[in-house]
């Protein structure tokens, strides 16, 4: 198992530039490559705490965009009129209703959500896949036609079946490992672009 150097260059850069986590740089890279968000986009950040991805999304969408962050934990320290935070379980109907009251359909769903890991790859993958399935369901309820869905998954054998299903719902599906990913990490990111209906 790779040793995680908490003080690596991306961690230090995040601290210096005021981002809540190194994950900010993953989203910057992914958005530069795949144009998942743009100025004026309405973005839903699922599993948003501590808010690193929401910070980047707000920079990208600008003053005419919107970012809604949903997490079990309160998201603090983001003072921006275009940011709305909802504390709660996104699988519950009341939270879905709150999300849709703010905006009836979103241009983009992003999710850096991950389960608590136990260090057993198969188990961590299974738990990640179960969580992603819930985000996928949530995305299909809240994402507009031609919208994009970007999420993290721990690599494993369930990936293939998930990608096949995504290909039925989206025009283009890409699997990416951003440069800011820690060495030895089993994290991958999947960008599902242009929702079909």
Pick from 151, 172, 161, 164: nearest CA to 30: 151
- Asked if 84 and 69 touch (Cβ cutoff 8 Å), the reply is yes
Residues recognised as catalytic:
152
Instruction: Report the distance separating Cα 112 and Cα 153, nearest Å.
Output: 9
- Provide DSSP, 32-75: HHH----TT-EEEEET-TT-HHHHHHHHHHGGG-EEEEEESSPP
Using CA atoms, how far residue 148 sits from 77, 82, 94, 163, in Å, is 27, 20, 24, 14
Neighbours of 58 (CB within 10 A): 22
- Asked if 106 and 146 touch (Cβ cutoff 8 Å), the reply is no
Would you give the DSSP letter of residue 8?
S
């Amino acid at each position: 198992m790779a040793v995680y150097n908490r003080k690596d260059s991306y961690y230090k850069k995040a601290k210096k530039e005021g981002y809540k986590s190194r994950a900010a740089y993953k989203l910057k890279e992914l958005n530069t490559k795949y144009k998942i968000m743009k100025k004026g986009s309405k973005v839903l950040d699922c599993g948003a705490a501590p808010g690193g991805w929401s910070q980047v999304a707000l920079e990208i969408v600008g003053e005419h965009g919107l970012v809604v962050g949903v997490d079990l934990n309160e998201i603090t320290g983001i003072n921006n009129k275009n940011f709305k935070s909802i504390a709660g379980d996104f699988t519950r109907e009341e939270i879905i209703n709150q999300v849709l009251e703010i905006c009836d359909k979103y241009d983009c769903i992003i999710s850096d959500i991950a389960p608590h890991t136990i260090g057993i790859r198969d188990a961590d993958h299974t738990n990640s896949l179960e969580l992603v399935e819930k985000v996928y369901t949530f995305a299909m309820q809240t994402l507009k036609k031609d919208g994009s869905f970007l999420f993290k998954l721990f690599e494993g054998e369930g990936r293939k079946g998930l990608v096949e299903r995504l290909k039925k719902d989206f025009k283009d599906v890409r699997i990416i490992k951003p440069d800011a990913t820690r060495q030895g990490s089993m994290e991958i990111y999947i960008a599902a672009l242009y929702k079909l209906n």
